[in-house]
Amino acid sequence: MDRVPGMPRRRRTWAGALAAVLAASALSLAGAGQAAAADVNNTKNAGFESGLSNWTCSAGSGATVSSPVHGGASALRATPAGQDNARCSQTVAVKPNSSYSLSAWVQGGYAYLGASGTGTTDVSTWTPDSSSWKQLTTSFTTGANTTSVTVYTHGWYGQAAYFADDVSVFGPDGGGTGGDPDPVVPATPAGLNVASTTSSSVSLAWNAVSGASGYNVYRSGTKVAAVTGTSATVTGLAASTSYSFQVTATNTAGESARSTAVTGTTKASSGNTGNLPKHAVTGYWQNFNNGATVQKISDVPSQYDIIAVSFADATATPGAVTFTLDSAGLNGYTVDQFKADVRAKQAAGKKVIISIGGERGTVSVNDAASAANFANSVYSLMQTYGFDGVDIDLENGLNATYMTQALRSLSSKAGSSLIITMAPQTIDMQSTSNTYFQTALNIKDILTVVNMQYYNSGSMLGCDGKVYSQGSVDFLTALACIQLEGGLAPSQVGLGVPASTRGAGSGYVAPSVVNNALDCLAKGTNCGSFKPSRTYPDLRGAMTWSTNWDATAGNAWSNAVGPHVHALP
């Protein structure tokens, strides 16, 4: 959160450039069909078993490795550096006027797969960073005079190395002696069973199928996951709900028939709601004067269910935090008045928590000792001021392992009524491999809500792989979808937006846009171009920075968004 009005916080500058490139790229997935039985994989050295033979990698970026591999004994490892995106390519012989299916298995950093020189429409597809093998698939048709195409993989500038394996250009034999044997469609998997459940996920397991390179998981007839192993966890499910699942086996020859269906029933809702209403509004209260209306806690409108006091600051002790009321900057607001106002809000059913970090926060929890210091110091502040919990707003990175340890230690001290909220930036929730997302999932059983900051970020990716610009309904809904389908319960997801144009450097949206996004996610109405595949009626609500900027604008935000949140189904 910004302490200085109109000043955007520090953020990764590649996000805008990435968005511009992706927005200009058409990701053509349509038209991929099962190849005929006589078709072959026309790629040479498709699994990198012969080193980089037949492949050319830019700037010496490629090498073969023995681990991790998807199949065989080797895989490609390509490392972007500077202005090089680690492009590895091969010229593949094809037949004119023919259809081909292009696929590869990738892991690691951002990875792209594409074909150029097709004589028709060149194609590409990509995926963000992935901690496990993931299959990229697209298709193309060759032109009347096309006898070869260039197949390529590449990463993204300044990002982690990517791995690629088992590249396939499957279709009519182009005469290039690709060498891979003709595959056979695998058999239907057997032994599908429900291994475990949570309030928002079902874990499945099944028997391996000979010749399969991957498996697709279907929920109620819709494909929801593609994995390489014999287990998968389907997330983003509603609590106390039964779902039907099937699984198929796949390879480059095609997909097997679906298995016998099994039913998995999720458990009752998880997470700590702290006796909050089903739908709640969070507002940050400023313990400083930066030009916004100066407030006492008692001045915060009743539409706010959670008031996050901003901010606790780092001490000389690693991991430890402290809070000092800025009485001088708040027109003589005394500590005794502050404590009394906190108690009054709590008597009215509200929660008051202490926020850690902000734009300039320097709290670091990166080992066991600092984790203990964090838990002990936050608990001490809770006892001193009567806070109901803690908000994690660390915008300069956090360690998932030790922040998880710190919050679990705090929970053991404070008990089941502890409120834990988080306010990550958009880039922090783009993938479940990001540390903020990992932390949220690690503490899901005690987490109250994640109010991601949908501002000061530029364009970002939605859950459908498309790029959306901030300041729109689509930006709010398509990015929320990543969290909703990535493992958080709907009751643990909120939309964080500025209360006014002065509250952030960019990303302000009118309250009506926030309400439309809430309706789209909870009810499937008032959506923009992006519409989620299902609704999330348990969506927690919305957050704003800040109650002070809201007051400066005549409380226009809370007067419009507050009643709308509380009226959601």
Would you call the peptide bond into 288 cis, given omega within 30 degrees of 0 as the criterion? Answer: no
Q: Which residues contact 186 (CB under 8 A, 6 or more apart)?
A: 209, 210, 211, 212, 249, 250, 251, 253, 256
Q: Is the confidence at residue 26, as pLDDT, over 50?
A: no
Give the per-residue pLDDT at 360.
66
Rounded Cα distance, 145 and 49, in Å? 32
Q: Is the confidence at residue 537, as pLDDT, over 60?
A: yes
Rounded Cα distance, 427 and 432, in Å? 11
Rounded Cα distance, 149 and 94, in Å? 7
Give the per-residue pLDDT at 416.
85
Q: Is the confidence at residue 529, as pLDDT, over 80?
A: yes
When pLDDT is averaged across residues 344-373 and rounded to a whole number, the result is 90
**Six-digit token pair at 436?**
């903020």
Q: Is the confidence at residue 493, as pLDDT, over 70?
A: yes
Least confident of 38-47, 124-133, 171-180, 354-363: 171-180
When pLDDT is averaged across residues 462-471 and rounded to a whole number, the result is 92
β pairing state of 493-498 and 541-545? parallel
Give the per-residue pLDDT at 211.
80
Give tens-digit pLDDT for 133-182: 999 999 999 999 999 999 999 998 878 999 999 999 999 988 875 555 55
Rounded Cα distance, 19 and 15, in Å? 6
Rounded Cα distance, 278 and 539, in Å? 8
Q: Is the confidence at residue 20, as pLDDT, over 50?
A: no
Give tens-digit pLDDT for 69-107: 888 788 999 999 988 999 999 999 999 999 999 999 999
Q: Which residues contact 556 (CB under 8 A, 6 or more apart)?
A: 500, 511, 550
Give the per-residue pLDDT at 553.
96
Query: Do 39 and 172 touch, CB atoms closer than 8 A?
Result: yes
* List of domains in the chain: 38-171 (2.60.120.260), 193-265 (2.60.40.10), 280-566 (3.20.20.80)
Strand partners, 352: 307
Query: Do 465 and 410 touch, CB atoms closer than 8 A?
Result: no
Give the per-residue pLDDT at 177.
55
Least confident of 120-129, 260-269, 371-380, 546-555: 260-269
Q: Which residues contact 88 (CB under 8 A, 6 or more apart)?
A: 52, 55, 56, 57, 58, 61, 62, 76, 78, 152, 153, 154, 164
Q: Is the confidence at residue 444, as pLDDT, over 80?
A: yes
When pLDDT is averaged across residues 421-449 and rounded to a whole number, the result is 93
Determine which one of 49, 255, 359, 395 is catalytic. 395
Tell me, yes or no, if 395 is annotated catalytic.
yes
Q: What is the largest CA-CA distance in the chain?
A: 84
Give tens-digit pLDDT for 202-242: 999 999 988 888 899 999 999 999 998 899 999 878 767 78
Query: Do 1 and 546 touch, CB atoms closer than 8 A?
Result: yes
Name the average pLDDT for the chain.
Answer: 88
Residue from 108, 251, 257 nearest 184 by CA? 251
As a whole-number percent, the residues of the chain with pLDDT over 90 amount to: 72
Residue from 174, 170, 128, 124 nearest 147 by CA? 174
Give the per-residue pLDDT at 14.
38
Q: List, in sequence order, every beta strand (DSSP E) within 266-305.
A: 280-286
Give the per-residue pLDDT at 363.
86
Give the per-residue pLDDT at 8.
38
